[in-house]
Amino acid sequence: MDFEYHYSEELEEFRKEVRAFIEEYAYKEPVVPPDPVKLNPEMFVRGKELSRKMGERGWYAPAYPKEYGGGGLDLGHCVVLAEEFGWIRREHRWPGSTEVSAIHTGGIMAHGTEEQKRRFLPKLLLGDWHGAQCFTEPEAGSDEAAMKSTAVRNGDVYIINGDKVFVGGEPVGGPRPDYLYWAAVTDPKAPRHQNLSAFFIPADLPGITYIPLNLVGGGGGQRWHIICEDVRCPADCMIGEENKGWLVTQATLHLEHGGGGHLVTGDRTEHRIIDYCKKTLRNGKPISSDPMVRDLLVQLYIEAEVGRLWGVRNFAMAQGQIPRIRYTGTQTSLHRKRFSPVKGKILLDILGPHCLIDDPELQILFGEVELDVRLGEVTHVGGTPEVQQIMMSRAMGLGRGATRAATGQQ
Ligand SMILES: Cc1cc2nc3c(=O)[nH]c(=O)nc-3n(C[C@H](O)[C@H](O)[C@H](O)COP(=O)(O)OP(=O)(O)OC[C@H]3O[C@@H](n4cnc5c(N)ncnc54)[C@H](O)[C@@H]3O)c2cc1C
């Protein structure tokens, strides 16, 4: 019996169209570094142009409604796009982002007014804008609600003051973001979680200072310490209602944690590592012939598959195909964050110090292995594993909420 999924003729035709587009615009050789921080500014600009070209076809945000600049395409077309662009990214021949980031659209989709959706979404969904998600502050990371940034209404503007850290995502030396997705306190007297608002601040307003941060791993690009001093942000750039910003940031973080799901993950280095170990000889034998190596590769494969399948499940839930479970995004994120240091260690155990070399002549798999080992312990992006664990237990009805319910505490 054939259990393979077969695409319709129409979808196979669509695949040809996508592939022709890709071949027309992709670099002919693998030149795009796996670490986005190392993308040179010229490639970054080219990548943005390509995102726009995808946007013109409705391919940059294929599942989003057409009236906001999305493609309005069905699931089959989205899968084909995800597969084809996943493949070209793995070949290191595509310099730009191949899909809109739900981190930036999620808050607007869930809480923006109709006017804001029509004003902001086309710029995002057509690949015109890229921005920085600015939630973390020097004294407010895991405890995001402790943020001290302020936004004070003054006529038709809010005066923004405060600083954010670890935010951004451009290549080193590349252009600045187009907007800052910034959360700030708008009612200092209100209780935590009811005192914040969220803004899309135009990133070139006077009073904004950008200080680059030199991190072990940028997690997607150059990270900044950004300071706002009396920045006059138009009041109609506030997303959602005043003092409801916590809900806006939570909608965003749910998607960042993986709640929206993934059809095809673009970073499946595990398969390529397994292939590398089969084909590369050590002492005259394939690396994979060592039983210890084989055990580690199986572990690598299983964990990667769990992540992939949860991504597909979360996608089906987000599309309303199967009932939702509350903890899915957190579960996926927690799994990824626990697996990431283990993966780094497995690579070191199998390949030794060779993993750490990023010299173009000597690196393994175009630098993907060095990047995975280096980023293994960088699990802070989007919330640490400890915090994900707390969120997971709460979503399962354990932890703080459950104690309150059991003891009758308020
Ligand atoms: C590469 C990178 C990219 C990032 N990108 C962005 C971005 O684009 N936008 C943005 O807003 N932020 C971004 N961040 C910030 C990230 O969200 C924070 O680093 C993260 O939330 C943790 O905050 P913190 O660094 O202040 O650590 P802290 O909150 O100070 O935590 C320090 C340690 O204490 C532990 N801890 C804290 N509270 C508890 C608790 N209640 N129980 C048990 N353990 C606890 C943490 O798990 C951690 O190990 C990025 C960070 C990195 C490293």
Q: 335-354, pLDDT tens digit by residue?
A: 999 999 999 999 999 999 99
Ligand 1 atom 51: residue of nearest CA = 381
Q: Would you place residue 56 in the very low, low, confident or very high pLDDT band (cuts 50, 70, 90)?
A: very high
If one compares 188 and 267, the residue with the highest pLDDT of the two is 188
pLDDT at site 326: 81
- Confidence (pLDDT) at 208: 97
Question: Which pLDDT band, with edges at 50, 70 and 90, does 4 fall under?
Answer: low
pLDDT of residue 2: 67
Is the pLDDT score of 86 beyond 60? Answer: yes
- Select from 252, 269, 267, 316 the least CA-distant residue to 79: 316
Q: Ligand 1, atom 38: nearest CA belongs to which residue? A: 142
pLDDT at 1: 64
Look at residue 202 and tell me whether its pLDDT is greater than 90. yes
Q: What is the pLDDT of residues 156-191, one digit of tens each?
A: 999 999 999 999 877 677 778 899 999 999 999 999
Q: How far is the CA of 15 from the centre of ligand 1 (A)?
A: 40
Question: How many angstroms separate the alpha carbon of residue 383 from the centre of ligand 1?
Answer: 5
Please say if the pLDDT value at position 410 is more than 80. Answer: no
Q: Residues 163, 226: contact at Cβ < 8 Å?
A: yes
Long-range own/partner contacts, residues 295-303 (CB < 8 A, 24 or more apart): 296/346, 296/349, 296/350, 297/273, 297/350, 299/342, 299/346, 300/270, 300/273, 300/274, 300/343, 300/346, 301/270, 301/271, 301/274, 303/270, 303/335, 303/339, 303/342, 303/343
Given ligand 1 and candidates 181, 338, 384, which is best to mutate, with the most ligand atoms within 8 Å of its CB? 384
Q: What is the percent of the chain with per-residue pLDDT over 70, rounded to a whole number?
A: 95
Lowest-confidence pick of 166-175, 192-201, 251-260: 166-175
The mean of the pLDDT values for the chain is 91
Beta strands in 116-253 (DSSP E): 131-134, 150-154, 157-170, 179-185, 196-202, 208-213, 222-234, 238-239
How many Å lie between the centroid of ligand 1 and the Cα of residue 142? Answer: 5
Average the pLDDT over 227-243 and give the result.
97
Give me the mean pLDDT over the 362-390 stretch: 92
Structural domains of the chain sorted by starting position, each given as residue range(s) with its CATH number in brackets: 9-99 (1.10.540.10), 131-243 (2.40.110.10), 257-405 (1.20.140.10)
* Model confidence at 114: pLDDT above 60: yes
What residue has token string 């802070």?
380
